[in-house]
Every structure is written in structure tokens, then in C-alpha cells.
Structure 1
């Protein structure tokens, strides 16, 4: 290979674990630093191949169909990341057999290291990451080559790997035991005069959003705090700053194309490297070799287009009183770009779709949260020569008849907020506004007096919530 680009952005290296059963490792290459253009991720771990025993009782690498797909397409999946300077490692995970990183005897460790080297050589990995979970160490008795599990034997495996792959990287992922017990799934001690600290390149503490460290490993080789991207929430800024000041690695787990991770990744980038992180907006499905622009990721572009609206109910006059629990309304609204990544125009909310066609509502987009909001009340038209009236869309509360003078204009400023549940978008208002409806008011004296025009109070008026599904 030609000389690879340098991803160094500071003293900290960033690791990403990709669940290849569901995701494509190429997605990690779509995040770059805003100023330098360097990749945000330094190391990508293919998660995960397994350690198993064959019929002769010897350990070997087992790859499920999804991991096999990555290996068989290394030139299309692994090599493009490496050409950007990103190191790609293969993670080895226990698999409910007696074989594990702590149970291999000296000869078995040597044999398994050779097995790992064949994968590194054939598929061009830059290193191996070990995750000592899910091995059934209670069953080691009776298997030749296996010994009583110990952290020292874990070190022996790392030593044998280092002996035959001196130029590769080796990492360890450790955490509490599956039963919640104290962590013992990391290597300890010396092997042939070599301390495990000298044999390893990095360790990752994998109880996400918590902090812990290993006393026998240099801080520059440790990630004492990692996050699971599927859990959402803001990273712990105190922990991130501590890593920036003293530690060598930070890890993120389970980058998914269906999740909006840009905000979290950007927070990490700004804290660790003092620089924003750009995402290209391109995604790769699990078996894709070429990217496409996402249509499902919840971002600014997601909201554009037509939506089928179902209201939470309606207000309608029944010739005697207002029915506050009227039938639901169904109509189509259209969302168009106003200012990219900042705001939209909204058309079509009934019964004022004709007015909104001329004076659309404005909806705001929050880049940090990827949520939307419609400020209410809202001026939708300032007076001009064509139309000297001032128009405002506001809330109005029910009166005791269907005439304008019994309706009350809500003066308090509130928002209709957008949130997603079960794959559908809900536009919700606060509790005090749920028994209100949108009404357009106009004024011919600069807002000193608000008038009802083009409003037929006997029409059916929408009551919130709105539920939106793709048209």
C-alpha cells in the first residue's frame, strides 16, 4: 500500500466498534474534522468474530455470515477506510464455549496467535481487539490445550500475538462480568520478561457512560470512559475533558445509520480536538459498496415533503354548542425549505390552507437535537402595498357560540413541538393549549386591534396533537 494519511488530531485516538450483523463499517469514514479534513475515527473494530473449539478441541476463529461478508469484500469495505488513514481491527469475542482468552494453555495460545495472524495477513487487518466475554470457562476440564482460566494466560495470548505480529496493534475491551461481578476479563502480569503494559496498544472500559481504569496500564493506552451511541444523551463533559487532558483513547460503540449521532460525535470532536465534525450525509446499508443519501435519518432534509396529517380531534359547532371531542381531521401538509438547516415553510393546515398557501407558517429546525418547533403566535405577513393588513397565526379558545366575539385569542407565546414515537411524527402543544385551535388574525392598525377575517367558525377546526405520516 502507498503511504496512508495521518489521522492524528491530538493526543487522543478515537475508536468505533461496529456491529457488522446490522451495520456497514464504511459509515465511519463519512465523519471528518471540519478544518483539517482528517477522519474523526482513528480505529474501527469489526465486531465481532468468535473464538470456538473445533472437533479436535483446538481453538479457531469462527465468523458468522455477516463477518464473513466483510472478509470476502475486504477490498471494498476494509481497504477504503485504510486509504483514508483509518486503522481496521478484527474483534475476537467469546462464544459460549470453554475457549476464551483466559483459558488457552501456552501451546494453544501460540496456535491461536498463528490463526489470528492468518486473518490479519489474508484480509489486511491492522490489528486485533480482544473482548473476553461469553466464554464458558466452567467447562474447560477435559479439553486438551485448555487450562484453568487466569488473567496471566490472557497475557500469554497477547505475548504470542506480539511475537509473530510485532508491527500490528492489539487492544483489550474489558467490563464487568456477565453476572455483574467485578472485572477480571483483562490481562495481567509478565510473560517471558515482557509486561502486559508493553504488549498492548490500548484498553477500553466497556461499561458505557461510567468511568474506570486499570492500574497496571499506562494512561496513554487507556480509554476509561466510552459511550454507546444507541443510548443517546449528551456525553459526560467532565469525563471527556479528563480524557483530553490525561488519557490516550476514547471509544464509541454501535454507530447506526438509523440513529442521529451527529450531535454526539460533534460534541466529542469539539471537546477532544477543539474542532467540529462534519458528516457527509451519505450512508451505506449493511451490504452496500456505494453510498446513498439517507431518507430515513432524522435530520433537516428528513422533514421536507408532504405529510399525511391526522389530528387528535377537532372542534365543530353542532348548532347548540361546540363539540370539544369532534371527529379527527385528515389532510395533507407540505413542508418546504426556507433556510437550509434552520427553518421551513408549512402549507396546508386546514381549514386555512388557502391563507397559508399565500402566507405559509414558518417552522424552525434545531440542529443540535434534530427536532422541530412552530412558534405560536407567529406573524405570517407584514403589511405591504399588495396587502396592507398585518396577519398573525395564533391560538384561540372556544367561546359559547360560533361567533367571533366569543372566541378568545391566546396571547401567551408557546410552541408546537415535533417528536417521534413508533416511527411517526407528532406535533404536540403544551397542556394549556390542547383545548385551543389555530386561528389566523389580521389587523389594520399595526396590531392594536386584531380582527377575524376569512374565518368561518362553523368550520371544523383541528385540535392538537397532530400525527404525521409520510404521504
Structure 2
């Protein structure tokens, strides 16, 4: 129990919302740990904005209707979360086009892309950028990928913000001299297999356990299984869990029950999570 109390003091939980509605975003701030009244989630990742383009050296940032509705029409709901202490990141994702995080870009193009993302974070007063290197028709260039990350971290307007990555089958990006671990501040492992062993390679690459989260999807893991997974994450000294797209699988009642099983594993068997409108 002493270990659980110690872990509870630093545990954080992240939620990804897939093409969320404004109400989905508002809901994140309404899940509270009953004994403290504090938010269950420390971070929200808005998934996703896109990287478009017909050539790797001319990428363009793109926002679909769901992202635009939040960032341009309902930014106040983001501010409400931030006022509660919840950090809000934006994820950038490939879009089945010839542009993306790890396309064969020049250093100049990679730097321009990284700086363009930072400018958007500043524009919308967000707390960070989450990397999802998928769905581009070009990919796999570790040098270009590293250069984009390096440009983001080197930008003075990004100081103090989060640069996270969706971790999955990406070992090529974690070796010298372009080791992404030297640029990332956090990582969310997204295999959804339930095993904390998926995080171990990233410790080997140089990331800290305190910067690593194991992904859980309500699509694949029941509430009781989620609790077991969260307990394993806790006992192995990792930071917390990442919940993928609960807005697609759970209503507010079942979500509170789902998160309760997680917080019981992190804090203790008497703890609960409540949805407070």
C-alpha cells in the first residue's frame, strides 16, 4: 500500500480522442478521482490533424471538420480543460499522401515542417505535439524524422511543452545518431496487447520510465482487464496508461466505471472515478 500511495502521487493518465465532438472534449474534464476531486486525466491528445502534400518537401498541415470545430469554433472547451490542469496536445498524422513525418525530406523542409507545427501550437495555445507516423505514402527515413523532431524541440516557442510519440514497431528511429529518444519528452505504446513488456525496449533506447505510458483500448480490453494492466504498469514503475478513443466505445457511465478499475489499481481498492457534470 505504501508503494501505491507513492505511485499515486506521480501517476498520470492520458486520453486520445479520435475525431472528437466538442462534447467529447468537454467530458474529459468531468471525470474526477472521487477522493480528491481532481481530474482523472492529466493529458488529452486531439487526434488528429494531418500532414498533406504531393511531394515530401512541400508538406501542408490540414485540419478536418472535427479538428476545426474544436480549434476554430470551440477553443473555449480547450481552455476549460487547461484551467483544470489538463494539458492538451494536438496529434499530427499522415493522410495517405506523399508527405509526412519520415518522408525523404531535405533538412530545410524538415525544419520548416517542425516550425510550422510549433506555430500552430502557439496559435491555439496548446501544450504540445504528438507524433503519429502513419498513413503517408512515403515513410521510413530516420534522418528526416529526427530533423523534424529536432526542429520542434529547438524552437524557443516550444519550450516547456510536450513532444510525445505513438510508439509501435518503430525501432529504426531509436538508434544513434538519429535517436528519437533524445528529442521526445513522452511516449505512448500502442500495441494494445496488454503487456508492460512492450515498454521495455524504449527504456533501452534511453527513455525514462517516468516518460512512458502503456496504451489500453476499450475495444480490446474489458474494465477488469484494464485494471490488471494498470496495476502491472504501476508495479513496474512506469508513469501511467493511455486510453485510446473511449469516445468511440464508452458512454459517460461506462467510462467512469472503466476508469475506476484503473484508479483502483493505481491508488487503492476503495478509490473511484466519477463523472461530475
TM band (smaller chain): 0.7 to 0.9
Distance 2:64 2:87 in 1: 22
Counterpart in 1 of 2:275?
279
Shift in Å, 1:187 = 3.2
Q: Does the C-alpha gap of structure 1 residues 241 and 49 become closer, same or farther in structure 2, counting only changes over 3 Å?
A: same
Q: Does the C-alpha gap of structure 1 residues 152 and 218 become closer, same or farther in structure 2, counting only changes over 3 Å?
A: farther
3-state SS of 1:13 partner: coil
Ranked by relative contact order (alpha carbons within 8 Å, sequence separation 6 or more), the top structure is 2
Q: Counterparts of 1:254-293 in structure 2 under 5 Å?
A: 254-256=245-247, 258=251, 260-274=254-268, 275-280=271-276, 282=277
Counterpart in 2 of 1:129?
130
Q: Does the C-alpha gap of structure 1 residues 276 and 258 become closer, same or farther in structure 2, counting only changes over 3 Å?
A: closer
Q: Does the C-alpha gap of structure 1 residues 82 and 95 become closer, same or farther in structure 2, counting only changes over 3 Å?
A: same
Q: Does the C-alpha gap of structure 1 residues 237 and 230 become closer, same or farther in structure 2, counting only changes over 3 Å?
A: closer
Q: Counterparts of 1:70-89 in structure 2 under 5 Å?
A: 70-89=70-89
1:249 equivalent in alignment to 2:247: no
Shift in Å, 1:35 = 1.5
Counterpart in 1 of 2:163?
170
Distance 1:196 1:100 in 2: 16
Shift in Å, 1:222 = 1.3
Distance 1:120 1:190 in 2: 28
After superposing on structure 2, the runs of 4+ consecutive aligned residues of structure 1 that deviate more than 4 Å are 54-57
Contact preservation (8 Å) 1:202, 1:249: no
Shift in Å, 1:155 = 2.2
Contact preservation (8 Å) 1:52, 1:99: yes
Q: Does the C-alpha gap of structure 1 residues 237 and 54 become closer, same or farther in structure 2, counting only changes over 3 Å?
A: same
Shift in Å, 1:184 = 2.4
1:24 equivalent in alignment to 2:28: no
Any stretches of 5+ residues in structure 1 without a counterpart? Answer: 1-7, 138-147, 176-182, 283-471
- What TM-score comes out, normalization by structure 1 length? 0.50
Counterpart in 2 of 1:184?
170
Q: Counterparts of 1:177-216 in structure 2 under 5 Å?
A: 183-184=169-170, 187-190=173-176, 196-211=180-195, 212-213=198-199, 214=202, 215-216=204-205
Counterpart in 1 of 2:216?
227
Counterpart in 1 of 2:3?
none
Instruction: Looking at secondary structure, tell me which structure has more strand per residue.
Output: 1
Counterpart in 2 of 1:344?
none
Q: Does the C-alpha gap of structure 1 residues 9 and 236 become closer, same or farther in structure 2, counting only changes over 3 Å?
A: closer
3-state SS of 1:172 partner: strand
Counterpart in 2 of 1:36?
36
Q: Does the C-alpha gap of structure 1 residues 130 and 17 become closer, same or farther in structure 2, counting only changes over 3 Å?
A: same
Counterpart in 1 of 2:111?
110
Q: Does the C-alpha gap of structure 1 residues 188 and 24 become closer, same or farther in structure 2, counting only changes over 3 Å?
A: same
RMSD across aligned positions (CA) = 2.4
Distance 1:236 1:75 in 2: 31
Shift in Å, 1:39 = 0.7
Contact preservation (8 Å) 1:154, 1:188: no
Counterpart in 2 of 1:334?
none
3-state SS of 2:246 partner: coil
Shift in Å, 1:190 = 4.8
1:158 equivalent in alignment to 2:149: yes
Q: Counterparts of 1:291-370 in structure 2 under 5 Å?
A: none
Instruction: Looking at secondary structure, tell me which structure has more helix per residue.
Output: 2
Any stretches of 5+ residues in structure 2 without a counterpart? Answer: 1-6
Shift in Å, 1:196 = 3.2
